[in-house]
C-alpha cells in the first residue's frame, strides 16, 4: 500500500488509492479509506434546481452538473463539511452521451487532488423529465481537525 495518493495538507486522514492492475480512474479513485474518527455526512441526491426551485441549464448537461455540484457543496457546508471531506460521489445520468460534459463540470468544480470513489449509473429517468443528472455524496469530517 503506497502513500502516494494520500490527500496531503488537509488533515482529513483520507487516502485515495489507484491499485496496480486496475485501469487509471478518470477523476475518481478506485478506493478511499478514512483513518480518523469522524462524523459521516450523507448528502441526498441533488438536482439542477436553484434556491427558488427553478431549473438551471435546461437541456445542458454541463450547466446542470455545475448547478448540481454547487447544490452538493451547499449541503456539505451546511453540515460542516467541504469537498476535502468527500469520500464517495454517486452520479445518475439519463444519457451516457452527457458524460464528457459531466466530467468537464466536475473537473472545473472539485479542487485539484480531490478524487473521491465514484459510481456512475445510467437511469431511465429522474424525478422530472427536464433533469439530466443527479449526484449524491458521502463525506467524513474528522472529529478533531
Helices within the chain (DSSP H only) = 61-78, 99-109
* 1: pLDDT strictly greater than 60: no
Residue 9 confidence class, pLDDT cut points 50, 70, 90: very low
Q: Which three cell numbers stand for residue 56?
A: 438551471
Asked if residue 19 has pLDDT above 60, the reply is yes
Q: Tell me which residue has cell 478506493.
A: 31
**Bridge partners of 49?**
55
- Cα 62 from Cα 104, distance rounded (Å): 7
Mean per-residue pLDDT, 36-53 = 93
pTM: 0.87
pLDDT of residue 145: 58
At a CB cut-off of 8 Å and minimum separation 6, what does 4 contact?
none
Give the mean pLDDT of the chain: 90
From residue 81, alpha-carbon distances to 19, 24, 94, 134 in Å are 27, 27, 28, 20
**How much is the average pLDDT of 99-123?**
96
What's residue 11's pLDDT? 66
- Asked if pLDDT for residue 52 goes beyond 90, the answer is yes
Give the C-alpha separation, 14 to 33, whole Å.
Answer: 6
Listed range (21-25, 42-46, 80-84, 124-128) with the worst mean pLDDT? 21-25
Of the pLDDT bands very low, low, confident and very high (cuts 50, 70, 90), residue 7 is very low
Interhelix angle 99-109/61-78, rounded to 10 degrees, is 40
Angle at 63 between CA 60 and CA 66, to 5 degrees: 145
Alpha-carbon distance of 99 to 63, in angstroms, equals 13
Amino acid at each position: 500500500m503506497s502513500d502516494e495518493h494520500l490527500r496531503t495538507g488537509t488533515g482529513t486522514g483520507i487516502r485515495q488509492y489507484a491499485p496496480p492492475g486496475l485501469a487509471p480512474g478518470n477523476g475518481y479513485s478506485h478506493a478511499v479509506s478514512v483513518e480518523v474518527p469522524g462524523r459521516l455526512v450523507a448528502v441526498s441526491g441533488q438536482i439542477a434546481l436553484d434556491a427558488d426551485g427553478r431549473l438551471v441549464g435546461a437541456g445542458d448537461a454541463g450547466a446542470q452538473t455545475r448547478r448540481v455540484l454547487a447544490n452538493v457543496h451547499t449541503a456539505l457546508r451546511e453540515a460542516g463539511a467541504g469537498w476535502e471531506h468527500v469520500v464517495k460521489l454517486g452520479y445518475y445520468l439519463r444519457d451516457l452521451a452527457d458524460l464528457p460534459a459531466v466530467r468537464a463540470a466536475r473537473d472545473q468544480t472539485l479542487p485539484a487532488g480531490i478524487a473521491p470513489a465514484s459510481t456512475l449509473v445510467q437511469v431511465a429517468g429522474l424525478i422530472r423529465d427536464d433533469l439530466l443528472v443527479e449526484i449524491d455524496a458521502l463525506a467524513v469530517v474528522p472529529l478533531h481537525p
